[in-house]
Structure 1
């Protein structure tokens, strides 16, 4: 008489069990008469397995306070496809209230190739104003494509972590991500850097994925302006429609 054939799997919501979870599962296996030693581990390293992430499911800030978020933010770092920002320095975003569900978006950057400032003005609206979540969609004039803007974490007064994500399409099996680290000042303190880096790890967005954005006023040749217009007079030629389209398509601030 032959032994019956048995097959068993251990499954998890995450690619790796914590030590506590491992112990809990092992104890349960023993109770079921399925000792852990009978199992073979399944490699789950995303780098090697090429795991496809197919959901834009990171949690955004809840009970978001739009009024406290308004004002100027400096781009400290970014990752993702943003060719319109190639060679860009002194990137800032200024937000002002435009209505119950609308925020005016004013982006500026110093283009080192052109040797001039560029800017573009658009607007953002909350996806669901009644949810309290910091999930917005950004629009720009004469550009038909919308861009997501999710605030994953912020303390309103010193830093913000912004994430833009698009679900897979017929052309790609993975989500498309872009993210920015923003600050109320052009430079973060060492303590704040550590705090933000720890939060990025927690969100599954390790800091080494980001590229630093130069914010040296001297290097960027920032003109703070003496006309009381916040330097608007120092801006170069108006942004071309092509740049506007690129910004909308590739998740501008």
Structure 2
């Protein structure tokens, strides 16, 4: 065994309905601009040639129900409600027709975003890391196995802030569907168990402040919540 100079954070785990063991978080891939209405509200056009991605670091994953401080370095912290999928089998250059077999489970997720930082970096044609890879910004509800739930087009995806509905759409609005995303991403990475993919957010994103409580859900999946506390 290799000795290390110091200990790293433990690998985060996400509960899976019906299992006593947790799903370990490896890599977190996020699909950008996967709902046309959201792209439009952000002043962008959708690239329909192929999906594009950004990433979040695994240690920044937290579980639904958490209370976290409003993050530093932003005055415009946004919520984004998303469908997450968890990879459960190795997948490399997988044809679209075989992509479903790589998905182990699904769940609700929040992609919290320093919007001011994201826009600032985007305008300078620089990476979005300060805007997207924020500590405690990848929030996950318990997963449901793919054998027990599938992403039907009619499934409602929604988010509320302090009980007021802010996002309300259906999975039919996804531009790139689950099988297309898995097939495409597996052309660039050897996907493996532990990899998570957030599939994009519908229109209605907006800012939250300390004291706000975010809730959300997707029909048939465990709901999600997050409370923001005062900055550190």
**TM-score (norm. length: structure 1):** 0.21
More helix by share: 1
User: Whose Rg is larger?
Assistant: 1
Q: Which has the higher contact order (CA 8 A, sep 6+)?
A: 2
* Length-normalised TM-score, structure 2: 0.23
